[in-house]
Homo-oligomer: A and B are copies of this chain.
Amino acid sequence: MSEDTTPEIVLALEIDDPALADRLATLLGSVAGLRLAAAGETAAATVVARDPRVMPEDIALTQRELDVLALMAEGASNKMIARRLDISVHTVKFHVGSLLDKLDATGRTDAVAHAARRGVIEL
């Protein structure tokens, strides 16, 4: 090894907690081979730590609701979801209704967005 051709790894920081951000910046700033990204600079990797206050406890979703939610996130219509889960469209609507209620959403798009924000599903 020891090629001086190896470029520094540029790291960006996206930390909600100011104290943690400061400690990380100090620690990482002094590592050889690493560099913190300047404002607007494209980084090779990003250090993220989102404020966990957003997700107190996992919203209590039943298994079936999670099934439906996952398919919703795929953009599936109620009819498609019904076919894939082998249940009736009415039942799908029922679960969707519960999801809208539990996720405090106004529609399926909102529900998916909320769920993604809280980490209930992975986009």
CB contacts (< 8 Å) of A108 on chain B: these are 109
Cα distance A74–B113 when bound, in Å? 7
In the complex, are the beta carbons of A24 and B9 less than 8 A apart? Answer: yes
Q: A72-B109, A107-B75 are in contact. Are A34 and B45 (CB under 8 A)?
A: no
26 A-B pairs, CB-CB below 8 angstroms?
A9-B20, A20-B45, A23-B33, A27-B31, A27-B34, A31-B31, A44-B49, A45-B48, A45-B49, A46-B47, A46-B49, A47-B48, A48-B48, A73-B113, A75-B106, A75-B107, A75-B111, A75-B113, A77-B107, A108-B109, A109-B109, A112-B113, A113-B123, A116-B116, A116-B123, A123-B123
- Report, nearest first, the 5 A-B pairs whose CB atoms are least far apart: A75-B110, A45-B49, A109-B109, A75-B106, A47-B47
